[in-house]
Amino acid sequence: MYKVGILGATGAVGREMMKILAERQFPISELRLFASSRSAGKVVEWNGRPVMIQEPSEENFRGLDIVLGAAESDIARLYAPEVVRAGAVFVDNSSAYRMDDDVPLVIPEVNPEDVKLHHGIIASANCSTIITVTAVNALNAISPIRSMVASTYQAVSGAGAGGPVELAEEVEALRTGKPVQPKVFSHQIAYNLIPQIGGEQYEGYTSEEMKMQNEGRKIMHLPDLRVTCTCVRVPVVRSHSISVTLRFDKPVSVREARHAIAAAPGCRLVDDLGNHEYPMPLDTSDQDLVYVGRIRPDLTDDNGLTLWCCGDQIRKGAATNTIQVAELLIEK
């Protein structure tokens, strides 16, 4: 049995982690929940028992085996050293440490062996990257992926618990003829699309867009992988979708790809256009599999394939993946 903490327990991902730890019957003897002073002292129920939220500190981390990071990067950076000094392993969902050389970046279905290389911190990947890489990794085993062109369709809950609230408020404001006043997003998201997630990072690409290349390279051990990504916020509550065109070293047939994805851990093949069956956000919400469909040849490159994948970014794209990493940790 393990003593486990959650840093950022009151956010969208933290709350989902609590649910999933119970669901997966993670062997926990003690759960400690950490959040800002605003929430500290409040008591929440977990698995039938009351747990008091406390402020994060080295002192309060002491005795824990694992701390799951569900907070933003700046909070993760602030407390990771204290978690490590307190003797726990920090399994972090934020982007703070993902690209650090001595921090493994892990999707359990893709590179579980990398967990062993940790020095106190292990990172879980970006949500869209997890969904895309879980979908395409089985194809990478047939022939190495040279490049990907990805366009994302990202749900509002990817911006945290405030995202769905803002979408609902805007839909209601429009219904009742009141003004729409965006706070979480830079523009109205109801009945609109916002083609920016994150700030500008490289050559006109946003930080969110560059994660697909940088994290994809590290997770799949493909240092030369080239990725062009466009990240777009869409008025969907939950589950991110990605349209991705892949180029391989050698041709991969649609038939081979379908077989590989049907057999891949973490994936579900949903690919029957004639019967209107393909991955959709509504169908992939509140579960852990990445749905993959619309697999067809890339008409622009003989070594290419194109496909559509969809997954719950709060679960597999964040909370579940982080907990799966913690499960690998206790297996060893």
- What's the closest the beta carbon of residue 250 comes to a second copy, in angstroms? 17
Asked if residues 101 and 115 have their Cβ atoms less than 8 Å apart, the reply is no
Q: Using CA atoms, how far apart are residues 17 and 314, in angstroms rounded to an integer?
A: 9
200 binds a second copy (CB under 8 A): yes
Residue 120 φ/ψ region, left for φ over 0, alpha for ψ in the -120 to 50 degree band, beta for the rest: left
At position 160, the amino acid (one-letter code) is G
**Residue 243 among known ligand-binding residues:** no
Q: Which of 118, 127, 229, 309 is catalytic?
A: 127
Whether 240 is a known active-site residue: answer yes
Whether 127 is a known active-site residue: answer yes
247 binds a second copy (CB under 8 A): yes
234 binds a second copy (CB under 8 A): yes
What 3-state DSSP class applies to 327? Answer: helix
Residue identified by tokens 């991705």 is 244
147 binds a second copy (CB under 8 A): yes
296 binds a second copy (CB under 8 A): yes
Q: Which of 118, 229, 231, 240 is catalytic?
A: 240
Tokens of 23: 């669901």
> Between 153 and 172, how does the x/- string for binding to a second copy read (CB under 8 A)?
x-----------------x-
304 binds a second copy (CB under 8 A): yes
**300-332 as b/e, with b when 16 or more CB fall inside 10 Å?**
ebebbbbbbbbbbbbbbbbbbbbbbbbbbbeee
Q: Is the dihedral of CA 160, 161, 166, 168 positive or negative?
A: positive
Tokens of 99: 């690209």
- What's CA 318's distance to the chain center, in Å? 4
Residue choice 135, 194, 264, 325 for contact with a second copy (CB under 8 A): 194
Residue choice 52, 117, 263, 273 for contact with a second copy (CB under 8 A): 273
Binding site for a second copy (CB under 8 A): 147-149, 151, 153, 171, 175, 186-188, 191-196, 200, 203-206, 213, 226-228, 230, 232, 234-237, 241, 243, 245, 247, 254, 273-274, 276, 278-282, 293-301, 304, 306, 308, 310
Q: Which residues are catalytic?
A: 127, 240
Binding-site residues for substrate? 154, 233
